[in-house]
A and B are shown apart, each in its own frame.
Chain A
């Protein structure tokens, strides 16, 4: 424990660590504030626009019942009819603000849910019969089924698993206006930045000692092998984990305080796809993705610690660490689909690296790992893999360090 304490103290005394910790804090504050600046309503910007949007959509907040949806769509179509407009873009700005904007949040998923089951192309809100919205949640299930037939044509197990997951989603959905999904994107981006910072902190853990020769002395000391190896790996994981956790908590608290704590009770299906498989509110998905990203970061740091124990120079270790962090992005864009999915599940940084490859966007998707008659939703596979990889890579790192000899 004394060795662990001193190692922790050592890491916290390095200038680079302090620079990265302060940079992490600055990035957190900046990235929590930035999404509020993107909101524009009725000529207003920023937090004033958020407040205006809440005022305009106040009547729609709460449960998203079929009756409310019918009324909202009817109001929408009535407005177009009154102004002889084919689309909302044909309406005068003030009319759009007074009559359309109040119902847009409520009608978020309607066009998607009532899309053509064979092509997936939406009919457009003006062409959907408001009376048909009485079976909205049944239509959601039907839409998911048709979507899964297109997405998982050859995998009935995946289709069944998707339906099983969706059955757990609480209906009716809830909607509380004012939250902006950019905040969730920025949370993922922050996670990526923090992962890169963690890579910089963790990469030199062992390789720096090899390079400077400090290792030659330390491993000749009584506790200089297993104890020191475990202390070094543990301290790096702890520092990175605590930094990430503090920044994420701070980010969520600031974001939700700025947009309003009532807004995060919105069901994720009211902000993303209406048939999204996660049974979560915005607040729940914020915490879940933060937790999953934390696990991903810890497993990534453990992998970097392992690489650091195997690589003899700091620069090479850092290069390998950064490559490991951005690898999921390459895999996402370059690897063939099924191979890519398996790689994304197995690469520990997948849940925290990038935005498109992040846990949030993986949860928005309908990707499954198919093994014979078994199908596992990719987000679940990623969380499970990282939970297993964290102790595995950490132990491998310590073992490699203990067994390291000069060549």
Chain B
């Protein structure tokens, strides 16, 4: 089981959305990371066969997906970023409709739908109109339709957007279990979602694939570039201006623990030495921190740095974990 993406390109008017992307997906969960406009959604749409690439080819087990037609769609599950549905449909109506379109035998449809509803905690809203459900529930209905035919190849664009933390954990577990012997590709801004479950990750920037590997392999790219220190709270604005803060946490003694990205510790050291106030007010010396996938993401996409997160943190006055993508929201190209 193998999905080969070969030199895929796609342009829109004045923008090259996907630029010569090549990768081979094998069973497991694949995380597709990238900032807004990186080309993730466009790439996924081409894999789904709903958008024609300008160049390149996508093959499933060696055969172009265009020639496989119905056979490809039979083993395919897709959840786009925007989950469109008919407003008049209840959850039951919609899943029955999707099951028929996916060619599930009528006798298996009810059993499969019930399984998924149970799995996704949707049993209570089975007969409710989708339009009346919360955003998270709608998203779960979308996930349910994608899983209906137990696809060999599952593509999900921002599947966890709108899910609360508990739902996200359940979804991650569900996906990990589901991905055995299947190819699952998920794009997300919420790096922690793929960090825990992705067997491999691909990172896109400006339409190009700039990195690919396991989480461990990828975080090595920012080894030695992640630092942390504790500073006086009143000096936080200076640090925000000079450094790319990833995370900050208010400490009990009026100081702030900051985590930041930098080629080396020099800037922080300089800030510490030249800052206003007494030496006692200078804070601790920066020390290297263990890099995480999120650090890599923010290193690669500096426009998504944690300044916004820091701002939010100040407003809340509490510990703030920077899930920048979640805060920024937005769409991909």
Contacts and interface: CB of A to CB of B under 8 A. Distances in A.
Contact of A2 (B45, B76, B82, B100): B100
A155 interface: no
A239 to B, nearest CB: 14
A221 B84 contact: no
Nearest to A17: B88
Nearest to B75: A222
Contact of A221 (B12, B101, B106): B101
B82 A213 contact: yes
A198 to B, nearest CB: 19
A405 B101 contact: no
B51 interface: yes
B26 interface: no
A213 B101 contact: no
A367 interface: no
B256 interface: no
Interface string B41-62: 0000100111110000000000
B50 A406 contact: yes
Contacts of A15: 88
Interface string B146-163: 100100000000000000
Interface string A1-15: 011001001100111
Nearest to B73: A222
A215 B78 CA distance: 12
Contact of B80 (A6, A217, A224): A217
Contacts of B146: 217
A204 B43 CA distance: 28
Contacts of A216: 45, 48, 50, 78, 80, 82, 84
B268 interface: no
Interface string A191-233: 0000000000000000001001111111111111101100000
Interface in B81-124: 82-86, 88-89, 93, 96-98, 100-103, 106
B53 to A, nearest CB: 10
B215 to A, nearest CB: 28
Given A10-B88, A13-B93, A213 B83 contact: yes
B98 A221 contact: yes
Contacts of B101: 3, 218, 221-224, 227-228
A214 B96 contact: no
Nearest to A13: B88
Contacts of B50: 215-216, 219-220, 405-406
A217 B149 contact: no
B329 interface: no
A15 B240 CA distance: 54
Contacts of B82: 212-213, 216
Contacts of A215: 50, 84
B51 A222 contact: no
Contacts of B212: none
A119 B71 CA distance: 73
Given A3-B101, A405-B52, A406-B45, A220 B78 contact: yes
Nearest to A16: B88
B74 A222 contact: yes
A15 B87 CA distance: 10
A213 B84 contact: yes
Interface residues of B, number: 35
Contacts of B80: 213, 216-217
A321 B80 CA distance: 29
Contacts of A212: 82, 84-86
Contacts of A218: 98, 101
A223 B86 contact: no
Contacts of A9: 93
Contacts of A10: 86, 88-89, 93, 97
Contacts of A3: 100-101
Contacts of B86: 10, 14, 212, 214
Contact of B96 (A6, A221, A224): A6
Query: Taking each of A9, A217, A218, A219, which has the highest tally of chain B beta carbons within 10 Å of its own beta carbon?
Result: A217
B70 interface: yes
B100 A220 contact: no
Interface string B166-203: 00000000000000000000000000000000000000
A209 B80 CA distance: 13
A209 B76 CA distance: 20
A367 to B, nearest CB: 45
A209 B83 CA distance: 11
A220 B48 contact: yes
A220 B84 contact: no
Query: Taking each of B50, B98, B102, which has the highest tally of chain A beta carbons within 10 Å of its own beta carbon?
Result: B50
A209 B97 CA distance: 14
A405 B97 contact: no
A319 B73 CA distance: 34
B145 interface: yes
Given A216-B84, A405-B50, A6 B74 contact: no
Nearest to A406: B51
Contact of A217 (B70, B74, B84, B93): B84
A89 to B, nearest CB: 60
Nearest to B52: A405
Nearest to A223: B101
Given A10-B93, A406-B45, A217 B88 contact: no
Interface string A287-314: 0000000000000000000000000000
Interface string A75-89: 000000000000000
Contact of B84 (A14, A214, A227, A406): A214
Interface in A1-60: 2-3, 6, 9-10, 13-15
B79 interface: yes
Contacts of A14: 86, 88
A398 B283 CA distance: 69
Given A216-B82, A222-B74, 20 more contacts: A2-B100, A3-B100, A10-B89, A213-B83, A216-B50, A216-B78, A217-B79, A217-B80, A217-B83, A217-B84, A218-B98, A219-B49, A220-B48, A220-B49, A220-B77, A222-B70, A222-B103, A225-B73, A228-B101, A405-B51
- Which 8 pairs between the two chains have the least Cβ-Cβ distance? A213-B84, A214-B84, A212-B84, A221-B101, A213-B82, A222-B103, A220-B78, A406-B51
28 contacts: A2-B106, A10-B88, A10-B97, A13-B93, A209-B84, A212-B85, A212-B86, A214-B86, A215-B50, A216-B50, A216-B78, A216-B80, A217-B84, A217-B142, A218-B98, A220-B48, A220-B49, A220-B50, A220-B77, A221-B98, A221-B103, A222-B101, A222-B149, A223-B70, A223-B101, A223-B102, A225-B73, A405-B51
